[in-house]
Amino acid sequence: MESRKLITATDTQYSRTLLSSLNEQRLHGIFCDVTVIVEDKKFRAHRNILSASSTYFQQLFSVAGQVVELSFVRAEIFAEILKYIYSSKIVGVRTDLLEELIKSGQLLGVRFIADLGIPLSQMKSMTSGVKDNTVKASPSDADQKSINTEKPATKYVLTKDSGSSATPIVTETSNISSEELHESTKAGNCQDKSEESDDDVIFCSETLPPKPRISNDTERAQQKNSPEIAKSPNKQMSVNTSISDQTPLTPKANSPSPTNLPPKAVMASQAKSLSSNISSPTQTETEVVSCSPLALPEPQATSQDMDTLPNPAHSLSVNISSPTRAQDCVGSSPELKAPKLEMTSSDVVKLANFTNSLPVSIPSLSQIQAGTGLSTDRVSPKAEKIISDTEKLSNKANSLAACISGPGQTQSGSFFPEPVPPTLQRTCLDMVKLPKQEPDINSSVSPSNNLQFQDVTPPQMATSAKISSPSPTQSKDVISPSGHMPLMPCVSHHPEMSKQRTDPEIVKIAGQQMGMNNAISAQTPLILNAEFPNHLPLKDIPSQINSLPVTTSGQAQASGTNLGFSQPSTVSTTKLLNPQQPDREQLNPLSNISTFAQNHLSQTMNFLAQQLPSFNTFVNKPFTLNSVNWPSCPNLLPSTLSQLANTDKLPTFDGPKLQNPQKATFHKKTTSKPGELKIKIADVNPGSSKDCSSGIGSGSHHIMDGKKIITLDTPSDIGGLSTGCKVYANIGEDKDTYDIVIPIKNDPDEDGEVQLPKSADGSPNSKRVKVKHEDHYELNVDGKVYYICLVCKRSYVSRTSLRRHYNVHSWERKYPCHYCDKVYALAEYRTKHEVIHTGEKRYQCLTCGESFINHRIMSTHMKSAHNQDPSGDPKLYRLHPFKSPHAKQPPESNAQPSTSATEVNNAVVQSEDEKKRPASVSPKSSSPAKPMSWDDVFVQPGDQPIFKDSPSQGGNEFEFVIPESY
């Protein structure tokens, strides 16, 4: 017997140790390969860790460079999230921050944190105990044993009362730290696990990773799955009926590490609820597989996850989300309506209110704009309030959901709450690929989800099924539709049309995905129909998509199912123009609904926004929020986007404190029109064709106009592109996909908004010849050429100046201060700023020998003390070369899609570069940033590195040592 025994040894401590070690590294900046800028803070971290813990980052890093900026999260909150990611614990978080933390967790797809909020809606079951203000929660340990312990589920259930009370309640379990769990549970868990082979000798406790073993272990599977789900808390979608037993789901690599395992009890209950919907168990794996091709990160929440549902999240999502959604849709629909049009930055808040989704929604919007998200995130009090309200509603919604949600819902319900990164595009592509109209799908799929609401078919279902991934998995599906939508517009190329159209579509999509399908769909349909047609240009419009509209349209446009889609003919532009309203309406409807629903919507929105430029545009217009800025740069990075958004500066958003040159002036200067940015949806809306085209904020939409990127997964789709589009074949993960950059520009000069230099501006009679270029306009005024920024329309006499300026929009390059957390868009700004830290006085008065840190101060001194004017005679003072080693440092660039190599290099390279510089006394002697090589990374023994890794966290990644020689 014994000989037969299998020995299993598990290092129980390993996960903790590993995590601890990683955290140490993070804190010391060791091997950190990404800088996350949040507000004015910089966080160094490891992409692997972040991506494994956050669905958002997972997707983001597929496209982003080493520097990413999050505008939808506050630094304070992100710091907590980061701590959690690296410790599996949430400790000492102020209760007043809990909601925001949860919201942020949802946006970031950090399951555990996101799930903290779940209870709120459903929590009834949960036992709640109120503790101090500080909440301490920990998911079961990453590896955890998770498994069986029922408790675990409760663990994270920190939540508020379902009631309005904002004070979070920490469940008993919640308090448990992973460690504690460890200790307490492991024994038990291990045993449990070991159950099967009692005879086996097992050292250790942690649960082994998924053993598929139990058929019923859905729970496990769920748990495991749940993590995934958790990732996309939003995703919650839930849905899927089928709970497969088995699939132990391999959590994709993505699966966030520290997922919480739902308590069995919970699981069971969930399962039950789900069961009703349930479908074939098999789905899980198969679905997964199918989905996998897409490779979308989010997909994590794929059907499998869904299926496995056991996860609390799933269950929750199912019950709550779907129903709520439906409700939302329904209820909301009535309420929705134009009024809300006014979205501006401030609107965002309003939106939130309407939507209910506040917490989520707001950020989402921001995210959308930014791609990553703007800073809006800060939840406004209103938002919080809304949240609480929504939560209340959620309960109702849940109850309703039960009734409403059918299997179909699950599918439909599934949407990505998360802010999805660009990756989603793929899904979109998939969607696109689908045969344009395949009624079958619709019918076959899940047509019937929401009974009440109308037959709207759950678009998602259909889409998903048809779409690339066979898997009905929602997430992907959901995504895809949205993704396509935006794409479509782009293709169409009509700036105005596309935008408008897209918007509506997006909205619709979102709604559908959200699970709103049923309810929402009804509303959405109209829009969809109208819009899609426009998009049609694409060769293949996913039949699913068509179906979606149809189903949804059921209400509005009964006929329209396929028609809308199939026939490109836009319903009517007018509608499109108005679409915004509808969109808003749609959103609004949600407001009444449960928070989940809201969240989902918002998230979806975000997601869409992020992934879909068109969506962004949509958002922009309707909301006017932000200008989403899609930089004209081929490589749009989320971070970049976000930054751009920042640039735009929506009043409401608290911009990160990146030193954005434009912030100050943008509104004022760039948009000569006061309040332009503030334009609300209402203003822009429907009516003003001009706005549509040229936009609200000149800056924002221009950016958007600049370029739009669509990703196609098949070359065949490319054919349908209109001329002028650039197609880039993707390599790496996205290989086999194609990014299409569609230039969409408005004529800056059209409205005379172009700001010419004073010298040239005045003459009305001046002859103007405008020449469009790829990334800018050239305006020839009376023989003088001015280079016009597409975004803000500022004019420059030299193209270099324009190029330099443009970075304030694109933030393609970032120049972080080496001494603090500030980040600048221009190297010079940083350089000047850093003088504050170094105190270096390079300007010396030759008259008295006194030195000053800058020319201005020196000049003041000379005038006052010596009655001399340095400007008149430069020789009156001496400008010493930089002593600071930081002089002329290369920027952190977002532009690089980042292959791992480059990424790594980046960080290092910078430091290296810095090293070199200091050596050169003369500032100008230094060479600009150059491409890095591994040689740069690894310092030669002989070399005396100026910098060395410093443990200091955050801000300065490197400690620099000034060579003795210097």
Partner DNA sequence: GGGTTCCTGCCAAGTAGT
Partner DNA sequence: ACTACTTGGCAGGAACCC
Q: Is 854 in the site for DNA (CB under 7 A)?
A: yes
**Cβ contact 545:562 at 8 Å:** no
Q: Which listed residue (899, 927, 934, 962) binds DNA by CB under 7 A?
A: 927
The CA-atom distances, in angstroms, between 23 and each of 69, 85, 89, 175, 663 are 21, 9, 12, 21, 35
848 binds, among DNA, Zn ion, none (CB under 5 to 8 A by kind): Zn ion
Of 605, 525, 76, the C-alpha closest to 354 is: 605
Nearer to DNA, 684 or 825 (CB): 825
Q: Is 72 in the site for DNA (CB under 7 A)?
A: no
Nearer to DNA, 561 or 910 (CB): 910
Of 276, 340, 339, the C-alpha closest to 309 is: 276
Where does this chain touch DNA (CB under 7 A) — which range of 304-312, 444-452, 490-498, 791-799? 791-799
CB of 804 to DNA, least distance (A): 6
Q: Which listed residue (200, 928, 943, 962) binds DNA by CB under 7 A?
A: 928
DSSP string, 614-677: HHHHHHHHHH--------SSSS--HHHHHHHHHHH--SSS-----B-HHHHHIIIIIS-STTTT
Nearer to DNA, 678 or 805 (CB): 805
CB of 666 to DNA, least distance (A): 7
Where does this chain touch Zn ion (CB under 5 A) — which range of 327-335, 546-554, 818-826, 871-879? 818-826
**Cβ contact 254:58 at 8 Å:** yes
**Cβ contact 44:32 at 8 Å:** yes
750 binds, among Zn ion, DNA, none (CB under 5 to 8 A by kind): none
Beta strand 41-45 pairing with 34-38: antiparallel
Applying the rule CB under 7 A, the residues between 80 and 99 that interact with DNA are none
Q: Which tokens sit at 484?
A: 């396509």
CB of 765 to Zn ion, least distance (A): 27
CB of 628 to DNA, least distance (A): 19
Q: Which listed residue (381, 931, 941, 942) binds DNA by CB under 7 A?
A: 931
Question: Between 595-611 and 381-404, two packed helices, what is the crossing angle to 10 degrees?
Answer: 110
The amino acid present at 49, given as its one-letter code, is: I
> Rounded to whole angstroms, how far apart are CA atoms 367 and 420?
9
> Rounded to whole angstroms, how far apart are CA atoms 721 and 872?
59
Q: Is 216 in the site for DNA (CB under 7 A)?
A: no
Applying the rule CB under 7 A, the residues between 722 and 781 that interact with DNA are 757
Where does this chain touch Zn ion (CB under 5 A) — which range of 134-142, 269-277, 514-522, 864-872? 864-872
> Rounded to whole angstroms, how far apart are CA atoms 385 and 364?
17
Q: Which listed residue (792, 887, 908, 909) binds Zn ion by CB under 5 A?
A: 792
Q: Is 817 in the site for Zn ion (CB under 5 A)?
A: yes
Q: Which listed residue (874, 875, 935, 941) binds DNA by CB under 7 A?
A: 874
> Rounded to whole angstroms, how far apart are CA atoms 18 and 263?
25
Q: What is the DSSP letter of 685?
A: T
HEC string for 128-194: CECCCCEEEECCCCCCCHHHCCCHHHHHCCCEECCCCCCCEEECHHHHCCHHHHHHHHHHHHHHHHH
Question: Between 613-623 and 345-355, two packed helices, what is the crossing angle to 10 degrees?
Answer: 90
Nearer to Zn ion, 704 or 845 (CB): 845
Q: Is 664 in the site for Zn ion (CB under 5 A)?
A: no
CB of 834 to Zn ion, least distance (A): 6
Size of the site for Zn ion (CB under 5 A): 12
> Rounded to whole angstroms, how far apart are CA atoms 413 and 401?
10
> Rounded to whole angstroms, how far apart are CA atoms 332 and 815?
45
Of 166, 590, 689, the C-alpha closest to 364 is: 590
Q: Is 905 in the site for DNA (CB under 7 A)?
A: no
Applying the rule CB under 5 A, the residues between 820 and 849 that interact with Zn ion are 820, 822, 845, 847-848
Q: Which listed residue (364, 518, 529, 660) binds DNA by CB under 7 A?
A: 660
Write each residue from 448 to 487 as x if it is in contact with DNA (CB under 7 A), else as -, in one continuous string: ----------------------------------------
Q: Which listed residue (607, 653, 666, 960) binds DNA by CB under 7 A?
A: 666
CB of 808 to DNA, least distance (A): 5
Applying the rule CB under 7 A, the residues between 798 and 837 that interact with DNA are 798-801, 803-805, 808, 813, 822, 824-829, 831-833, 836
> Rounded to whole angstroms, how far apart are CA atoms 485 and 731?
24
Tokens 């494994």 -> residue: 52
Q: Is 796 in the site for DNA (CB under 7 A)?
A: yes
Q: Which tokens sit at 889?
A: 């440092």
**Residues at the site binding Zn ion, with contacts judged by CB under 5 A:** 789, 791-792, 817, 819-820, 822, 845, 847-848, 850, 865
**Residues at the site binding DNA, with contacts judged by CB under 7 A:** 659-666, 668-669, 757, 794-801, 803-805, 808, 813, 822, 824-829, 831-833, 836, 842-843, 853-857, 859-860, 870-871, 874, 879, 881-882, 887-891, 923-931
